[in-house]
Amino acid sequence: MTPTLQIFLIVSAALFSIGLLAALSRRHAIFILIGIEMMLAAANLNFIAFWRFAPKPHQPPVGVMLALFSIAISAAEAAVGLAMVIVAYRHYRTTNVDQLDQLKG
């Protein structure tokens, strides 16, 4: 059996849903970041799959470039997000997002 594009997209959709589950149902800020990273990885998997299954190979390889830039952006997002978690913990002594409910510093 050779995997078709559909199967890759379904695996990627499953990964996205698991990330969504982590982001929506956990109350810990780090878990929410993990879920967001997983959703971004599912999008990257889609980019690469669509690039590989395109009928004519592109010159330059657009899908690969998109995936590379998206990986770089999600790394930057993770760094800033984790710094924000540390700051929130230092201020409120908790990382539970339900308790971070004040706008006042």
Partner 1 sequence: MNGAAFIVISILTLAAALAAATLRKLMHAALSFAVAFVGIAAFFFLLGAEFVGLALVFIYIGAVAVLIVFTILLTRRDIEKDRGFNWSGVIIAVAVFCGLTWAILKTASLSIVAPHIRALTVKRIGEALMTSYVWPLQCIGLLLTAALIGALVLAMEEKR
100 part of the interface to partner 1, by CB under 8 A: no
Give me the sign of the Cα torsion angle 14, 16, 18, 24. negative
Question: Of 57, 101, 102, 104, which lies in the binding site for partner 1, with binding defined by CB under 8 A?
Answer: 57
95 part of the interface to partner 1, by CB under 8 A: yes
61 part of the interface to partner 1, by CB under 8 A: yes
Task: Write the interaction track for partner 1 spanning residues 32-51; mark x where CB under 8 A is met and - where it is not.
Answer: -xxx-xx--x--xx--xx-x
Q: 1 vs 4, 7, 55, CA distance in Å?
A: 9, 11, 20
Question: Of 82, 100, 101, 102, which lies in the binding site for partner 1, with binding defined by CB under 8 A?
Answer: 82
d(Cα 85, Cα 80) in Å, to the nearest integer? Answer: 9
Cβ closer to partner 1: 53 or 101?
Answer: 53
In the complex, what is the shortest distance from the CB of residue 43 to partner 1, in angstroms, rounded to a whole number? 11
As given in the structure block, the two tokens for residue 51 are 């690039």
Q: How many CA atoms lie within 13 A of 47 on its CB side?
A: 17
